[in-house]
Amino acid sequence: MSGLISLLFLLIFIFIWCYPVLKRQKKLGGYVDKKTEGKALLFGLIPATAVLLLCQFALGWIFKLTGLNNYKVFICFLNAFLMYGMIEEATKYGFARLVLRKFERLKKIDIMIIFGFVGMGYEIAETLLIGGLFAGIGRGIFVAHIMYQFIMGHFFYESIHAKNRGDDKSAKKNMIFSLAIPMLLHGINDLFCELISVFTDMGRNTGLPDVSAVSQILVSQGVSLIVCLAVLVFTNVFCLVWGLKLAKKDADVEVNKVVQKTGNGYDI
């Protein structure tokens, strides 16, 4: 039941945040059609399930075999930045490129939408797989995976555009940004999620009744939990605002190009 409630929140806020972006893309006469958007969504959804499960199994087995499981905080860093940051974001980038390969020319807003739909697939898969009502609702409100991909798509386009005009230095810089920034933001977000789980488990392992265990958590780990929650909220709000601003800004850039070329404007 909690998974379905979380999914409902996710779908509601996907519509709230992403509908204006799709509306801008449509008014700009972008090249991405519904079929391509659906393909990007499926590429994110189906491989996401496999990647998440396989990575969790493989890394969990390696951590257990090497004895790293005994170092809880270190494992939090590895999970957050290696698995959820690097591996997951690199996988999303790879599947977005598979969708993009058939297009010879795309508007910037098109690329951001393709990357965003891949992120949307991951968002849905993670909501269904992980569950947890509180975390699921938070994930649904901020749709962080989609925002990571909007940011990735922005810098990816900047890299391609710089390469086309012969600016190899700028092309390399923006390509690094397109991967590194989402990986870093995703890693920071998931690190503090992992730390909250560790602090919560400390309270559960006291052997006390549920109410007493909660009290024990608040007394012993209260400040740590508050700090972790504050960082989580800040990171998610930052990604949401930045992702939506980039979509608006990049759409406006496309409008200016059209106005300069044809003298016609759009009501964005």
**Is residue 112 situated within a structural domain?**
yes
pLDDT at residue 133 greater than cutoff 60: yes
CB 6 within 8 Å of CB 140:
yes
**Is residue 267 situated within a structural domain?**
no
Q: Which domain holds residue 157?
A: 2-257
**Is residue 70 situated within a structural domain?**
yes
Q: Which pLDDT score, from 0 to 100, does residue 104 have? A: 55
| Chain centroid, CA 124 distance in Å | 11
Count up the domains in the chain and report the number: 1
**Is residue 107 situated within a structural domain?**
yes
**Structure confidence by residue, pLDDT tens digits, 142-173:** 999 999 999 999 999 999 889 988 999 999 99
pLDDT at residue 59 greater than cutoff 50: yes
**Is residue 56 situated within a structural domain?**
yes
**Is residue 134 situated within a structural domain?**
yes
Distance CA 239, CA 205 (A): 34
DSSP states along 193-217: HHHHHHHHHHHHTT---HHHHHHHH
SS3 state at 108: helix
Q: Which pLDDT score, from 0 to 100, does residue 93 have? A: 94
**Closest Cα to residue 134, out of 229, 18, 11, 237?**
229
SS3 state at 240: helix
- The proportion of the chain whose per-residue pLDDT surpasses 70, expressed as a percent, equals 85
**Is residue 193 situated within a structural domain?**
yes
3-state secondary structure string across 48-82: HHHHHHHHHHHHHHHHHHHCHHHCHHHHHHHHHHH
Distance CA 150, CA 114 (A): 9
Average pLDDT over residues 236-263: 78
Compute the mean pLDDT over every residue in the chain, rounded to the nearest whole number.
Answer: 83
Average pLDDT over residues 10-31: 86
**Structure confidence by residue, pLDDT tens digits, 248-260:** 887 777 766 654 5
**Is residue 155 situated within a structural domain?**
yes
Q: How many residues does the chain have?
A: 268
**Structure confidence by residue, pLDDT tens digits, 218-233:** 555 667 788 888 999 9
Cα→Cα distances 34→113, 122, 183, 184, Å: 11, 18, 28, 31
